[in-house]
Amino acid sequence: MSTSTFDASGSGKGNKTKQPKPTRTSAQWDPEAKRVFISLCEEEIIAGRRPGSHFTPEGWKNIVEGFYSITGRLYSKAQFKNQWDTMKAKFVIFNELMNRETGIGIDPVTNTIDAPSEWWDMKIKEHDKYRKFRGRDFSLFQHHYPTLFEGISATGAHLRTPSTVSQVGANSSARSQA
């Protein structure tokens, strides 16, 4: 593999480091690669390098370089961003399934959504995007995705209907008048 100057931030500016050129092949996201990527993302979040929904240039640079250092795989910032966006979209769908229903939970042994077949058939009929979630292990979603995506994705968890908003407002008014 030839080496050249590579800007890990993908911006074309900033500090240059001597690394192999990223390949134009598809990134392979096997379980170990996902685990390393998630761990690096958590580190950057803790360090304050995700001020909004995405990482700062320094955060992306650290992820690219850290991932290469650990796995020997050199992916571009765009490949990491695509994986980030894919994971975020799956987190939103997971929350749609879990937060809009009662009586649905996660099986502690299999880490799958514990729901009757009829429920799954209804959900898949409602939208085919739910099909890939049937029988899937959700341990990452439970233990890591909230750290990565809560507060930066619209999950509907704090959704209020007009009747609940007016009740909340009425309760606030009653307390302030007392």
Please tell me what DSSP assigns to residue 128.
G
pLDDT of residue 153: 60
> Does the residue 163 lie in any domain?
no
pLDDT of residue 46: 94
> Does the residue 55 lie in any domain?
yes
> Does the residue 65 lie in any domain?
yes
Residue 92: which residues within 8 A CB-CB, separation 6 or more? 149, 153, 154, 155
What angle, 0 to 180 degrees and rounded to 10, lies between the N-to-C axes of helices 77-99 and 31-46?
Answer: 90
Cα–Cα distance, 33 to 133 (Å, whole number) = 20
> Does the residue 178 lie in any domain?
no
- Splitting the chain (178 residues) into consecutive groups of 10 residues, what average pLDDT does each group show? 44 52 79 96 95 94 97 96 94 87 88 92 93 90 88 54 46 48
pLDDT of residue 21: 62
Cα–Cα distance, 134 to 94 (Å, whole number) = 11
Instruction: Give SS3 for 40.
Output: helix
Give the pairing type, strands 17-20 and 105-106. unpaired
> Does the residue 167 lie in any domain?
no
> Does the residue 126 lie in any domain?
yes
Q: Give 46: exposed, middle or buried? Use CB within 10 Å, 0-12, 13-18, 19+.
A: exposed
> Does the residue 127 lie in any domain?
yes
> Does the residue 18 lie in any domain?
yes
Q: Please tell me the total count of domains within the chain.
A: 1
pLDDT of residue 18: 56
Range of the domain at 14: 3-158
